[in-house]
Amino acid sequence: ALTQKLEAVFKKLRGKGKLSEADVKQAMREVKLALLEADVNYKVVKDFIQKVTERAVGQEVLESLTPAQQVIKIVNDELTKLMGPKEARLNISPSKVNVVMMVGLQGSGKTTTSGKLGLYLSKKGKRPLLVAADIYRPAAIKQLQVVGEKIGLPVFTMGEQNPVNISKAAVEYASRHNNDVVIIDTAGRLHVDDELMQELINIKDAVNPDEILLVVDSMTGQDAVNVAETFHNKLQLTGLILTKLDGDTRGGAALSIKAVTGCPIKFVGMGEKLTDLEPFYPERMASRILGMGDVLSLIEKATAAIDQNKARELEEKIRKEEFTLDDFLEQLKQVRKMGSLDQILSMIPGLSPQKLQGVEFNEKELVHIEAIINSMTKEERMNPSIINGSRRRRIAMGSGTSVQDVNRLLKQFEQTKKMVKQLSELEKGRKKGRFKL
């Protein structure tokens, strides 16, 4: 919803051509409202709007040839700064036993995220050990064991002994068994309480973690931000992991949490599956919020999940703006291999599920699209502009679909292409130190 609102504001701005200071201020009022509705912290919104307005009403912007684009670029920049400004990496060193302590409220996703992080690190060549230090819920130990089994990682348990002793013993165990990252899944409570905090402080003092990562549920909005502040005060967190960003969150937590706590977001959880963890890139998140889709994340996902060469080819084509219907089809096929359709679709520019509302873009639709593209000649795929009425009828017949289906596909493709082009220009501009949105 935030994305659509911002898109609407910027569309209006773009339609104006020459901008006055009043135009910018009006747009900023609308941006402000959209952010507040998305549950972004009030003070953060105020500072943000002030910074953007200051930069945007300058003569350079208003008198430039593309004032609306300049304003959007400034918003994009400031959003990136707000959430970053840069990606924050995990502090994991080679040739030592690294200790990562996972903390957070009950249900925030600690156990799941411990598994996700373990899997992520093992893909990077690490040998993680998961540690069951939540002794209060009987099912918690078992849950971590199940997670470990799924991803083929060892799980250290000592039943319901003192979590401090468990953590210490786990670190010793790790150094004897050649595990180089110890991921401690600690207990949570429904609310922050002193007893829990003291236990976490004791664990921290005992094992001196390299990372203390707070797992927060992004669906809880400003509560997530408050929780993060409290944990940070007590434990001096080294990073945040925002979970459930795949859900119906309004985005407020992602936008405010770094600004309020000063603690960087290191990863985001994008689903229930153990592969649904992504490093957090502020710049990409900003573009995603602004509705530009996220080709880069998509490419990264493709690289991880599928044929490396194909992913590189796709990236190359996007950069060279030679993105054809064949590539579009290839991309959709890869989407299917990658699992969660909604999630991937939300990253393809111009193909966001919101935009496709009413189009029922489901598995069946994909089969349709594949059939339609397969019914096209090579020439048509390379150069869709030649597809006139009679060709459309032929393609529809050949693929067992309707002319409307063909039209819709061509429109989706054009949209995607346009966005891809904008994005690759943005990339080029960035390399040259110049932006163009």
Shortest distance in whole angstroms from residue 137 CB to Mg ion:
7
Cα separation, 10 vs 67, in Å, equals 11
Site for ligand GDP in 183-222 (CB under 6 A): 188
Tokens of 315: 């990236």
Residue 398 annotated in ligand binding: no
Q: State how far Cα 313 lies from the chain centre.
A: 23
- DSSP class of residue 361? -
Report the residue number whose CB is nearest to ligand GDP. 269
The CB density around residue 59, as the number of other CB atoms within 10 Å, is: 8
Shortest distance in whole angstroms from residue 240 CB to Mg ion:
17
The H or E element that residue 62 is part of is helix 59-62
Residue 107 annotated in ligand binding: yes
Helix, strand, or coil here: 395? helix
Q: Which is nearer to Mg ion, 145 or 202 (CB)?
A: 145
Give the alpha-carbon dihedral of 201, 202, 207, 211, to 10 degrees.
-20
Shortest distance in whole angstroms from residue 184 CB to Mg ion:
11
Binding-site member from 26, 106, 122, 422 for ligand GDP (CB under 6 A): 106
Q: Which is nearer to ligand GDP, 217 or 330 (CB)?
A: 217
* Amino acid at the residue 154: P
148 is a contact residue toward ligand GDP (CB under 6 A): no
The site partner of 243 among ligand GDP, Mg ion, none (C-beta below 5 to 8 Å per kind) is ligand GDP
Residue 109 annotated in ligand binding: yes
Q: Which is nearer to Mg ion, 133 or 409 (CB)?
A: 133
Residue 58 annotated in ligand binding: no
Residue 7's φ and ψ, nearest 5 degrees, are -60, -40
223 is a contact residue toward ligand GDP (CB under 6 A): no
Binding-site member from 84, 109, 251, 384 for ligand GDP (CB under 6 A): 109
Q: Which residues are CB-neighbours of 177 under 8 A, at least 6 positions away?
A: 129, 154
Residue 115 annotated in ligand binding: no
Q: Identify the sign of the CA torsion 79, 81, 87, 93.
A: negative
The site partner of 107 among Mg ion, ligand GDP, none (C-beta below 5 to 8 Å per kind) is ligand GDP
Site for ligand GDP in 45-104 (CB under 6 A): 104
DSSP sequence for 217-258 = EGGGTHHHHHHHHHHHHHH--SEEEEE-TTSS--SHHHHHHH
Give the alpha-carbon dihedral of 66, 69, 70, 72, to 10 degrees.
160
Q: Which is nearer to ligand GDP, 111 or 334 (CB)?
A: 111
Shortest distance in whole angstroms from residue 365 CB to ligand GDP:
23
**C-alpha closest to that of 130 among 176, 99, 88:** 99
- Are 193 and 82 in contact, with CB atoms under 8 Å apart? no
- Are 73 and 435 in contact, with CB atoms under 8 Å apart? yes
Binding-site member from 180, 210, 211, 246 for ligand GDP (CB under 6 A): 246
Q: State how far Cα 328 lies from the chain centre.
A: 22
111 is a contact residue toward Mg ion (CB under 5 A): yes
The site partner of 272 among ligand GDP, Mg ion, none (C-beta below 5 to 8 Å per kind) is ligand GDP
In this structure, the strands spanning 277-279 and 265-269 are antiparallel
Shortest distance in whole angstroms from residue 181 CB to ligand GDP:
18
Q: Which is nearer to Mg ion, 111 or 179 (CB)?
A: 111
Shortest distance in whole angstroms from residue 405 CB to ligand GDP:
32
- Are 201 and 182 in contact, with CB atoms under 8 Å apart? no
Q: Which is nearer to Mg ion, 231 or 328 (CB)?
A: 231
Shortest distance in whole angstroms from residue 270 CB to ligand GDP:
6
The site partner of 271 among Mg ion, ligand GDP, none (C-beta below 5 to 8 Å per kind) is ligand GDP
**C-alpha closest to that of 17 among 71, 55, 58:** 71
Site for ligand GDP in 383-422 (CB under 6 A): none
In this structure, the strands spanning 181-186 and 239-243 are unpaired
Q: Which conformational region is residue 244 in: left (phi greater than 0), alpha (psi within -120 to 50 degrees), or beta? A: left
271 is a contact residue toward ligand GDP (CB under 6 A): yes
The CB density around residue 191, as the number of other CB atoms within 10 Å, is: 11
The site partner of 109 among Mg ion, ligand GDP, none (C-beta below 5 to 8 Å per kind) is ligand GDP
Tokens of 349: 């520019």
Q: Give the number of residues in contact with ligand GDP, rule: CB under 6 A.
A: 18
Binding-site member from 148, 163, 269, 350 for ligand GDP (CB under 6 A): 269
* Residue ranges that bind ligand GDP, judged by CB under 6 A: 104, 106-112, 188, 243-244, 246-247, 269-272, 276
Residue positions forming the annotated binding site for GTP: 104-111, 185-189, 243-246
* Residue ranges that bind Mg ion, judged by CB under 5 A: 110-111
Residue positions forming the annotated binding site: 104-111, 185-189, 243-246
